[in-house]
Amino acid sequence: MTSWFPKKRSLALPPLERCLPGRPERMAVPATHAVSGARLEPPFPAGTELALFGMGCFWGAERCFWPHQGVYSTSVGYAGGFTPNPTYEEVCSGRTGHAEVVRVAFDPARVSYRELLEAFWSLHDPTQVNRQGPDVGSQYRSLILVGSPEQQAAAMESRTALEASGQFPERIATEIEEAGPFWTAEEDHQRYLEKRGLWSCHTR
């Protein structure tokens, strides 16, 4: 039987006409977060805002936001591409256009979006193009998906400031785009590290 997936992962985003078709059904996920006990899916408490970050493997990206006071809940999924309700294997094929992302539901009265941006920049290498460490592919690209003009202004200002700081000798490769649909990942990928007693995606 012919495989759906190429043998090598593509680093370039596919054109829309070459993307996989996906499916209309959304992934089923638990009602609550295993760590915080908070809801994984809307509706969230009144006043909650959302932030979407792609920073490599979403297993570790999710865990990095848990210690921040004011973060109500996190969930991992796929965004920035074309295929509706993709599976993990489809995203890894490079034929959906999506990045692995973490959705952070937060209380802006307790933690600001700018503070989350600072965490985002500090927790991965934003100069890498379509990779983080040993993980290679367009699904691992550095990405900020903004949900408002205020988030866009803050994200662009923080990227400009980081570039001017000289902290990284290479050019910042992080993309800043308007947020589109967020497709929740399969239940097995939610809280992946916590379930397995791991501290990061590649080490115990």
Question: Are 145 and 52 in contact, with CB atoms under 8 Å apart?
Answer: yes
Structure tokens at 121: 């920049």
Judge residue 22's burial from the number of C-beta atoms within 10 Å of its C-beta, 0-12 exposed, 13-18 middle, 19 or more buried. middle
Which of 57, 64, 92, 201 does the annotation list as catalytic?
Answer: 57
Task: Tell me the one-letter amino acid at 190.
Answer: Q
Q: Which of 145, 125, 189 is nearest to 54 (CA)?
A: 145
| Pair 87, 21: CB distance under 8 Å | no
DSSP 39: B
* Catalytic residue list contains 19: no
The CA-based diameter of the chain, rounded to the nearest angstrom, is 54
Q: Are 59 and 189 in contact (CB under 8 A)?
A: yes
Backbone angles phi, psi at 121, to 5 degrees: -65, -35
Closest by Cα among 77, 55, 178 to 126: 55
Residue 155 CB coordination number (10 Å) = 22
Please list the active-site residues: 57
